[in-house]
Amino acid sequence: MAAGTEEAALGYEEARDELIEVVRRLEAGGTTLEESLALWERGEELAKVCRRRLEGARARLDASLATERATEAEEAGDEDAG
């Protein structure tokens, strides 16, 4: 699965939960070097998905807050003019 496709397919919670499982398996040990490397790489991909999802959520919140502030400033300006 391509990175862009995966990001679209995985929600934040799914990626986070899978990342937790990857970390648990790495910490538990008992895997071969190749398995450990594959798990590490998967963990890096999942961390990127989580980070992008969080950045997107933050951008949405910032945009919403900016709109709210602009509306409040506009309403305050209307009250001053009236």
Q: Provide DSSP, 4-27.
A: HHHHHH--HHHHHHHHHHHHHHHH
| pLDDT, tens digit, 9 for 90 and up, residues 68-80 | 999 888 888 877 7
| pLDDT tops 90 at residue 21 | yes
- In this predicted structure, what is the pLDDT of residue 78? 79
Q: Which two tokens stand for residue 39?
A: 């798990």
| pLDDT, tens digit, 9 for 90 and up, residues 28-64 | 999 999 999 999 999 999 999 999 999 999 999 999 9
- In this predicted structure, what is the pLDDT of residue 79? 76
Which of 68, 36, 54, 48 has the alpha carbon at shortest distance from 2? 48
| pLDDT tops 60 at residue 3 | no
